[in-house]
């Protein structure tokens, strides 16, 4: 283990709180049959974790420093690595961004809960794809892993921020039959963002075509910012 990984792990262990760990375990469903089954929490909230890793957000990313944490069985270790990767991706040049994202794509098996996905997918993968071929999104969407599918959807948030919505809508169609509620929520969230921040008419056109087929949760998320009477009309479908 490198000095960076050892220092970050020691800082997390020092800040760990068993009561917080128990609460986080319940919230992220580590129980048998839960979506986070088997995960291990040290007991550090995200806000505190961001404070702990702040010194390393200014240090260029080296995979050997962060892989021991990214592949750790402890949730907060993985989260710490992903927070730093996301922060570095937002301020790095092309070469460093490429290193970060290739490391990310090689280790998506460890990005295995919704908070880990949501803190990293748009800032790392989404930023990397802004001027690149979008094939990785469609590869991930076809994965048997709930978390890889969610990575693909949430990554488009960065594209939406740059006025690019085509992939959001295409992924939404591909995932209409998905059985996972956490995918339904992510798709609806991105549809809502596309309509709110880019083109409301484009969202309405999509809903006119697909509202009757969308999972109920997806539809409810997608229409949150529409006028009340419009929401009622789409829900009635």
pLDDT score, position 163: 97
pLDDT in tens, the chain (237 residues): 678 999 999 999 999 999 999 999 999 999 999 999 999 999 999 999 999 999 998 999 999 999 999 999 999 999 999 999 999 999 999 999 999 999 999 999 999 999 999 999 999 999 999 999 999 999 999 999 999 999 999 999 999 999 999 999 999 999 999 999 999 999 999 999 999 999 999 999 999 999 999 999 999 999 999 999 999 999 998
Predicted local distance difference test score (pLDDT) of residue 174:
98
Residue pair 81/54 in contact (Cβ under 8 Å)? The answer is: no
Residue 15 lies inside a defined structural domain of this protein = yes
* 40 bridge partner residues: 74
pLDDT the model gives residue 204 = 97
pLDDT of residue 2: 72
How many domains would you assign to the chain?
1
Q: What is the CATH number of the domain that holds 55?
A: 1.25.10.90
Check if the beta carbon of residue 226 is closer than 8 Å to that of residue 196.
no
**Global pTM?**
0.96
Angle at 106 between CA 85 and CA 134, to 5 degrees: 85
Query: In three state form, how does the secondary structure of the chain look?
Result: CCHHHHHHHHHHHHHCCHHHHHHHHHHCCCCCCCCCCCCECCCCCHHHHHHHHHHHHHCCCCHHHHHHHHCCCEHHHHHHHHHHHHHHHHHCCHHHHHHHHHHHHHCHHHCCCHHHHHHHHHHHHHHHCCCCCCHHHHHHHCCCCHHHHHHHHHHHHHHHHCCCCHHHHHHHHHCCCCCCHHHHHHHHHHHHHHHHHCCHHHHHHHHHHHCCCCCHHHHHHHCCCCCHHHHHHHHCC
Q: Is residue 37 part of a domain?
A: yes
Within a domain: residue 186?
Answer: no
Q: Compute the distance between CA of residue 28 and CA of residue 112 in angstroms, rounded to an integer.
A: 11
Please provide residue 74's backbone torsions phi and psi, each rounded to the nearest 5 degrees: -90, 125
Cβ neighbours, 10 Å, residue 180:
15
In a domain, 46, yes or no: yes
Answer yes or no: is 187 within a domain: no
Tokens of 135: 């094939």
* Whole-number pLDDT of residue 153: 98
In a domain, 76, yes or no: yes
In a domain, 11, yes or no: yes
Quick check: is 149 in a domain? no
So what's the pLDDT on residue 1? 62
Structure tokens at 226: 């529409």
- Name the residue range of residue 6's domain: 1-93
């Amino acid at each position: 283990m490198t000095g960076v990984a050892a220092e970050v792990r020691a800082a997390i262990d020092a800040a760990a709180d068993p009561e917080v760990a128990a609460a986080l375990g319940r919230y992220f469903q580590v129980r048998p049959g839960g979506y986070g089954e088997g995960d291990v929490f040290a007991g550090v909230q995200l806000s505190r974790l961001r404070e702990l890793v702040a010194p390393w957000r200014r240090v260029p990313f080296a995979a050997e420093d962060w892989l021991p944490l990214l592949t750790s069985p402890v949730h907060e270790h993985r989260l710490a690595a992903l927070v730093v990767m996301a922060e570095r991706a937002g301020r790095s040049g092309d070469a460093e961004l490429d290193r970060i994202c290739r490391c990310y794509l090689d280790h998506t098996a460890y990005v295995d809960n919704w908070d880990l996905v949501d803190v990293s997918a748009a800032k790392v993968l989404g930023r990397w794809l802004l001027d690149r071929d979008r094939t990785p999104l469609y590869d991930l969407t076809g994965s048997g892993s709930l978390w890889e599918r969610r990575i693909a959807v949430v990554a488009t948030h960065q594209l939406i921020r740059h006025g690019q919505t085509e992939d959001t809508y295409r992924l939404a169609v591909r995932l209409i039959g998905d059985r996972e509620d956490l995918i339904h929520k992510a798709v609806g969230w991105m549809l809502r963002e596309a309509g709110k921040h880019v083109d409301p008419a484009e969202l309405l056109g999509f809903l006119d075509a697909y509202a009757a087929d969308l999972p109920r949760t997806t539809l409810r998320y997608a229409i949150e910012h529409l006028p009340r009477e419009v929401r009622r009309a789409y829900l009635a479908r």
